[in-house]
Amino acid sequence: MPRLLVVAPNWIGDALMAQPLLARLREKLPELRIDVLAPAWVAPVVRRMPEVSEVIETHFRHGPLALGERWRLGRQLQAARYDQAIVLPNSWKSALVPFFADIPLRSGYVGESRFGLLNLKYRNPKTRGAMAVHYARLAEKPGREPAEPLPQPRLQVNAAAAEATARRFGLEQRFAVFCPGAEYGPAKRWPGFTALAERLRLPAVLLGAARDREACHGIAGRNLCGETTLDEAIDLIACADCVVTNDSGLMHVAAAVGTPLVAVFGSSSPRHTPPLSPKARVVWLGLECSPCFARECPLGHLRCLKEISADRVLEEIRSLGSA
């Protein structure tokens, strides 16, 4: 059985944008075993991907090279005798573990001058396209485009376990999930959640990390930011009638579990990181200054988000039959 090690991205959303690559690889070679090297905060998502055989969880911190730790992990992985590694992050250090593991074929985008660490190299495109396509190119020979449409991301959810999670949090009735945070910065955070909560008939459950609690200030609803594990958040999203979210990792989770979803985009682009689900709707104004991909509005007005009304988002929720 051929064995592949995939070095996962460091963000939840990016990991889900990479899942079509895994599905395409499995289409090409059904007997392929795919193991994924993933940061601890991304691992719960990767474990729910049906294409993945094993998740090898890492605890490298952002910033430090941690050369010794990476060398030791690479030596441990030698015993698995992987045939190939695909390195999805662009950083130099992310390619070290497959190199230390003596994996014979190591592929990925050139990134930070990774000549030597990688021996099957892909050139980064000059313009931003769809991220899912960007990753899926690594299933083809360099220079060849993947056939479209790509498989859509999908996460496995045990319905009984998800319902038990909802009951554990006292959520026995219908509810909507709001995800008001976005780690990237204020230019991704729609300020209309407070007004939407006042108009929506369903009670709102607010999900995110502990650092998102400030973004939830003033929004009527059950604030569970920082009070759930990622697995519990996935279960609650799967149980919700609908999800309203910024462009964030939980947006991609909602798309992958098939919950009706309205995604609000500001400084980023739905052409680059769209929610890949037939049950998803995108609200994006596409102003002349968008997308700027900035963390904070460089012009100081944040029109791309402030001019999106709660009524506009509510209209999209109703079009999904979830209001």
The model carries a pTM of 0.95
Element containing residue 164 per DSSP (H, E): helix 159-168
Which domains are assigned to the chain?
3-139 (3.40.50.2000), 159-319 (3.40.50.2000)
**Model confidence pLDDT, tens digit, residues 283-312:** 999 999 999 999 999 999 999 999 999 999
pLDDT for position 323? 66
Distance CA 141, CA 147 (A): 12
Burial annotation 281-297 (CB, 10 A radius, 16+ → b, else e): bbbbbeeeebbbebeeb
Please list the pLDDT of the chain residue by residue as tens digits (323 residues). 899 999 999 999 999 999 999 999 999 999 999 999 999 999 999 999 999 999 999 999 877 889 999 999 999 999 999 999 999 999 999 999 999 999 999 999 987 778 889 999 999 887 778 999 999 999 999 999 999 999 999 999 999 999 999 999 999 999 999 999 987 888 999 999 999 999 999 999 999 999 999 889 999 999 999 999 999 999 999 999 999 999 999 999 999 999 999 999 999 999 999 999 999 999 999 999 999 999 999 999 999 999 999 999 999 999 998 76
Distance CA 54, CA 35 (A): 5
pLDDT for position 113? 78
90 in Cβ contact with 98 (< 8 Å):
no
**Model confidence pLDDT, tens digit, residues 59-98:** 998 778 899 999 999 999 999 999 999 999 999 999 999 9
Q: CA distances (Å), 24 to each of 8, 95, 153, in order?
A: 16, 22, 11
